[in-house]
């Protein structure tokens, strides 16, 4: 390779890494609140599996204005350029757990509560299933709160619901509603079993304890 060709090659590589969306995630301070893999803060949801639960277009909308989507959200407005937003939405929609490698943060087997938080159930159903997340176009305009509903399930029904996921009923014929993802591709039977045990403890809580 001549010097000239090598120089051009190096320029192309360095330009590509300047547009590296993983670097944008750090440069915009996202990691102060969010984890991808084991590194990052925890005042926002863990994003290691965000691509399993959120489509790219949803992430792009969310980044445009978290507050427009959820008026009481703790996530600050980011003021991203359209290009950075698109790059981040693409990068995040590809995060399906690979940043953990073969390890899982809940390897201390059977900890359904940790799975609930780190796999991101919490990002849609809220802490301890308390709800509060808008779902424009979905049933009642909200992602369901879990506690009281779960009392109607037997454990095996609950596990098969988690495995299959659910397409949210589109109340007004819009397509924007968020669906409940199917979890059989990312959680093992043992993990689903631990998760169901945790969910059933939520069903037994007196709803008054949540407030
Ligand atoms: C000050 C903390 C903070 C910063 C900084 C922050 N976020 Fe957030 N983020 C949050 C919180 C809190 C939520 C949960 C919102 C809610 O449910 O109200 C959230 C939610 C999200 C979600 C939705 C997650 C899901 O699964 O539903 C995405 C995607 C996201 N943030 C990406 C980003 C990106 C990208 C950046 C950087 C450009 C960023 N965040 C910066 C706190 C933060
Ligand atoms: C991207 C958002 C999202 C995520 C993440 C998510 N869910 Fe859901 N979930 C939904 C929606 C929306 C529904 C309602 C679907 C419908 O209308 O039938 C739902 C329904 C449910 C139900 C059934 C409630 C009922 O109506 O009977 C259970 C149980 C449940 N989710 C548990 C979980 C668990 C456990 C996780 C994590 C492994 C999880 N969900 C992750 C959005 C989500």
Residue closest by Cα to atom 14 of ligand 1:
44
Could you say which architecture CATH assigns to the domain 22-27+35-103?
A: Orthogonal Bundle (1.10)
pLDDT reported for residue 8: 46
Is residue 141 within 8 A of residue 160, CB to CB? The reply is no
- In tens, the pLDDT along 86-139 reads 999 999 999 999 999 988 888 666 799 999 999 999 999 999 999 989 988 788
% residues pLDDT > 70 (the chain): 82
> Measured from the CB, is residue 142 less than 6 Å from ligand 2?
no
What is 110-211's CATH number, 1.10.10.60, 2.60.40.1180, 1.10.760.10, 3.40.30.10? 1.10.760.10
Residues 6 or more apart from 58 whose CB is under 8 A from it? 178
pLDDT reported for residue 168: 72
Compare 25 and 137 and report the one with higher pLDDT. 25
pLDDT band at 177 (very low <50, low <70, confident <90, very high): confident
pLDDT band at 1 (very low <50, low <70, confident <90, very high): very low
Q: Nearest ligand to the C-alpha of residue 36?
A: 1
> Measured from the CB, is residue 123 less than 6 Å from ligand 1?
yes
- CA atoms of 146 and 144, how far apart (whole Å): 6
pLDDT reported for residue 160: 96
- Separation of CA 192 and ligand 2 centre (Å): 14
- CA atoms of 106 and 154, how far apart (whole Å): 24
**21: how many CB neighbours lie within 10 A of its CB?**
16
Compare 14 and 207 and report the one with higher pLDDT. 207
> Does 171 score more than 70 pLDDT?
no
- Separation of CA 1 and ligand 1 centre (Å): 45
CATH 1.10.760.10 range(s) for the chain read: 110-211
pTM of the model: 0.89
84 Cα nearest atom in ligand 1: 38
Q: Nearest ligand to the C-alpha of residue 195?
A: 2
> Measured from the CB, is residue 138 less than 6 Å from ligand 2?
yes
Measured torsion, CA atoms of residues 48, 54, 57, 61, in degrees rounded to the nearest 10: -80
Residues 6 or more apart from 70 whose CB is under 8 A from it? 133, 134
- CA atoms of 59 and 21, how far apart (whole Å): 14
The pair phi, psi for residue 41, each rounded to 5°, is -85, 175
């Amino acid at each position: 390779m001549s010097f000239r060709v090598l120089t051009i090659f190096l320029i192309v590589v360095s330009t590509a890494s300047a547009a590296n969306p993983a670097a944008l995630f750090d440069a915009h301070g996202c990691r102060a609140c969010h984890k991808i893999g084991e590194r990052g803060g925890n005042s926002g949801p863990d994003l290691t599996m965000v691509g399993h639960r959120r489509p790219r277009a949803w992430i792009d909308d969310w980044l445009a204005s978290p507050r427009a989507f959820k008026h009481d959200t703790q996530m600050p407005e980011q003021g991203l350029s359209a290009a950075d937003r698109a790059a981040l939405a693409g990068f995040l929609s590809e995060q399906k757990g690979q940043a953990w490698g073969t390890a899982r943060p809940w390897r201390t087997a059977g900890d359904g509560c940790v799975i609930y938080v780190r796999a991101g159930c919490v990002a849609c159903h809220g802490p301890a299933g308390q709800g509060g997340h808008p779902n424009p176009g979905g049933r009642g305009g909200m992602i369901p709160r879990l506690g009281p509903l779960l009392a109607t399930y037997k454990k095996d029904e609950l596990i098969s619901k988690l495995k299959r996921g659910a397409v949210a009923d589109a109340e007004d014929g819009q397509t924007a509603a968020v669906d409940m993802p199917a979890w059989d591709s990312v959680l093992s039977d043992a993990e689903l079993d631990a998760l169901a045990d945790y969910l059933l403890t939520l069903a037994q809580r007196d709803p008054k304890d949540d407030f």
